[in-house]
Amino acid sequence: MEPMLDAPNAAKLFHRLAPYVTDEIWLGKMNHVRNCIGKNRTPEVEAAIQRIEDNQTDEKIWAIYRALKHQSKVRWKDSIRKVIGLEPTEVAA
């Protein structure tokens, strides 16, 4: 679930996927949304980019965190950890 392209439905999607996942489900924001997509964008693509950005506000990330913070299969990518004030994940050497 990283990057989250449909953040308003992240908790609902997590609960639908969780029974089929044996290990972890990672959640993270889509970083550099505007840089990931070429400059020749249609109005539809521009609207989708705006929707993704609008759904990744700190307030909305906090709502997802509150909804899923007690789920043992959830792992938070650094893009979310930064918003909620958790230390970045350590990279195995």
Query: What residues form DSSP beta bridges with 75?
Result: 26
pLDDT at 66 over 90: yes
34: pLDDT confidence band, cut at 50, 70 and 90? confident
pLDDT band at 35 (very low <50, low <70, confident <90, very high): confident
> Can you spell out the DSSP letters for 28-85?
----SHHHHS-S---HHHHHHHHHHHHTTSHHHHHHHHHHHTT-TTEEE-HHHHHHHT
Q: Given pLDDT bands bounded at 50, 70 and 90, which one contains residue 88? A: confident
